[in-house]
Structure 1
């Protein structure tokens, strides 16, 4: 089979790697898609990423058996086959054809890369790319026998190779090996203009079975990008048939073309379970901890608290302002609460992506100040001292602390969809 990976064709100014993938599918029309196109998100902590750090892989050949609709380019329907056989092809000639598209469709400040292989690359390369950094040595060993080309540098080759290494069949602790995203693209003359997608239409599809990350709880649309890229919307879910059957309800603006991607989004593949003492800058972690300091608020609305693991190591945790209502849960944490925290580690701090409350420490509140026999309210004489009536001088014991019901419940808490990382499994999909 012919395996093609592309990466790093976009930038924060625009462009879109998934759009270029549709151009490649159209260009190589003599081939059939074997399996769906694959949208692969990689390590979200690398400093040189563009927006979502996504690469795309295609597997091409001669389709065998029944075909399945996975896209539509104008009036042309795009199908995939679940199995296929090899076709004769010249990898170098195909590289030249793809290179023309990539050169013309990439942003000037990007470093696009193309990898072409006859086989899936080793899956370990994917796991290195989604959880860590791929070194030049690791890359060269993994792509031996493949051909590649990079422009304005070699950065894109790394992601392109990792995308070919992702099979979408391995399962993580959440039991989610993959999800789906159906991406709609705009007419070229509309690129950069405001997208005309109603919140009502988004709300209607957002409650379908397995659909996620369409909108926030306050109704804010999350499936429509803010950048001037070709994407109209990204419709995400766990069942591809539901996406295909319902995307036409989004509007009023309709896509010029659409394509269905199998993806590692919402899988938590980037997270690694480890001890606090083993964390390094750039790691995305899954830690079981106990809250060791009360959360505090700093300028800008950011929340910070400290947590410790079973070995006694301590780490600072943060919920930054963009996480919005998630910060309310953080505000209600108390010392002694037992948690699972998930997030990325940078500069001695875990930037929280979600938390799971396992056990809540008891909460106590001070009773009201005693009322003196003379009818006046008493006041504390100082820390640890009696309460005293200022009118008659009579002293009273300190009031008892009373146990109160926590503001929180056992379970998962997360930021809204618009502030969520692509790889993070939404709470709605957690087991």
Structure 2
């Protein structure tokens, strides 16, 4: 049933001009790594924190909650390597900080693999060093030690639990303004009694709204494998998530879904999902490290060969004259095109 609570953080549809707001009332809140493969969810915790903040009429949200997908290659991620940032205008910052610190500690999967971090930046302007940290977090591997140094140099209060690795994502989320290309996601959450049970989603209705809203929603249904894509399969609190180009289209699609399960609520996030932000960084073959994300531009130097399993292998040379081997895996569906490349073709691999 879609008659459920909504954490209505804001009706803003564009990034606010933080320079026009009283700077000492602005608080940026970033948190990450609150979940584990056994359960919990960072966006669900954001839903709870938002609901808590909205109980105070003096607290105003300056933007949609931000769901920031960081480097997808990081092996420590639980699922989608997503961190969250909330930007609010409020008077009693100290009470908010202590309340959220307690919620993070209470509601995270500490002891089951979660290593949460939460960070608080006072004032409207996000330091350039923090923006750069957020940009690098899209494609590189950043250490907790680097995060602690950034926090200290920019007077950012923070708290960590477990090994505290979540501080990296917390700071990166604050530094990611997402003031360029972005999308939205309406995420619906289950009631606790339903965690771990099968999600009943009407595939026909998913197909209907997918066709009705195309291209303004995406990743709804896999026609080739006849598979619904909007729902996870684990014991986490998420019922489903619908991604699209505007808050209106993702909410209307969620309403069209008409789930029979009584849900706990939903919230709309602004996000970098579907923007290929982690592929904006051009890499050189000589500088690639394991788990980095980005793309390499170069020319094909050997005739592509199809090997066992249907994968395609070929040689590539970048602009610096460094050579290496590249592979196109069969599941990508790109092997037919890759096998037809000729020596001298200029390509980008990401």
- Give the TM interval when normalised to the shorter protein: 0.7 to 0.9
Match of 2:251 among 228, 237, 244: 244
Query: What does residue 425 of structure 1 align with?
Result: none
User: Hey, what's the Cα distance between the residues in 2 that align with 1:188 and 1:293?
Assistant: 55
Match of 1:267 among 275, 291, 301: 275
Match of 2:107 among 98, 105, 108: 105
Query: What does residue 211 of structure 1 align with?
Result: 217
1:229 matches 2:257: no
Query: What does residue 32 of structure 1 align with?
Result: 60
Give 1:205 deviation, angstroms. 2.1
Query: What does residue 56 of structure 1 align with?
Result: 84
Give 1:89 deviation, angstroms. 1.2
Map Cα deviations across residues 140-174 of structure 1 (whole Å, 9 max, x no partner).
Answer: 2345322111111120111111101111114xxxx
Indicate the RMSD between aligned Cα atoms, in angstroms: 2.2
Question: Measured at CA, do residues 195 and 3 of structure 1 come closer, stay the same or move farther in structure 2, by a change above 3 Å?
Answer: same
User: Hey, what's the Cα distance between the residues in 1 that align with 2:297 and 2:240?
Assistant: 36
1:256 matches 2:264: yes
Give 1:138 deviation, angstroms. 5.2
User: Hey, what's the Cα distance between the residues in 1 that align with 2:39 and 2:305?
Assistant: 38
Provide structure 2 residue ranges, at least 5 long, that are not aligned to the other structure. 1-25
User: Hey, what's the Cα distance between the residues in 2 that align with 1:247 and 1:3?
Assistant: 29
Map Cα deviations across residues 209-234 of structure 1 (whole Å, 9 max, x no partner).
Answer: 32111122313212211221111111
Q: Secondary structure at the residue paired with 2:162?
A: coil
- Which residues in structure 2 correspond to 1:140-219 (within 5 Å)? 140-142=149-151, 144-170=154-180, 177-207=181-211, 208=213, 209-218=215-224, 219=226
Give 1:302 deviation, angstroms. 4.4
Give 1:298 deviation, angstroms. 3.0
What is the TM-score with the length of structure 2 in the denominator?
0.80
Relative contact order (C-alpha < 8 Å, sep 6+): which is higher? 2
Q: Secondary structure at the residue paired with 1:52?
A: coil
Map Cα deviations across residues 152-206 of structure 1 (whole Å, 9 max, x no partner).
Answer: 1120111111101111114xxxxxx211111111122111111111221221222
Provide structure 1 residue ranges, at least 5 long, that are not aligned to the other structure. 62-86, 171-176, 344-431
Match of 1:13 among 38, 53, 61: 38
Give 1:295 deviation, angstroms. 3.1
Question: Measured at CA, do residues 102 and 178 of structure 1 come closer, stay the same or move farther in structure 2, by a change above 3 Å?
Answer: same
Moved more, 9-18 or 271-280: 271-280
User: Hey, what's the Cα distance between the residues in 2 that align with 1:214 and 1:328?
Assistant: 26
Give 1:324 deviation, angstroms. 5.1
Q: Secondary structure at the residue paired with 1:130?
A: coil
Map Cα deviations across residues 332-365 of structure 1 (whole Å, 9 max, x no partner).
Answer: 433337353343xxxxxxxxxxxxxxxxxxxxxx
Q: Secondary structure at the residue paired with 2:222?
A: coil
Question: Measured at CA, do residues 318 and 139 of structure 1 come closer, stay the same or move farther in structure 2, by a change above 3 Å?
Answer: farther
Query: What does residue 88 of structure 1 align with?
Result: 91
What is the TM-score with the length of structure 1 in the denominator?
0.66
Q: Secondary structure at the residue paired with 1:273?
A: coil
User: Hey, what's the Cα distance between the residues in 1 that align with 2:299 and 2:260?
Assistant: 48
Give 1:23 deviation, angstroms. 0.8
Query: What does residue 18 of structure 2 align with?
Result: none
Question: Measured at CA, do residues 276 and 11 of structure 1 come closer, stay the same or move farther in structure 2, by a change above 3 Å?
Answer: same
Question: Measured at CA, do residues 199 and 305 of structure 1 come closer, stay the same or move farther in structure 2, by a change above 3 Å?
Answer: farther
Find the structure with the greater CA-based Rg.
1
Question: Measured at CA, do residues 318 and 223 of structure 1 come closer, stay the same or move farther in structure 2, by a change above 3 Å?
Answer: farther
Q: Secondary structure at the residue paired with 2:186?
A: strand
1:7·1:160 contact (CA, 8 Å) conserved in 2? yes
**Greater fraction strand:** 1
Give 1:22 deviation, angstroms. 0.8
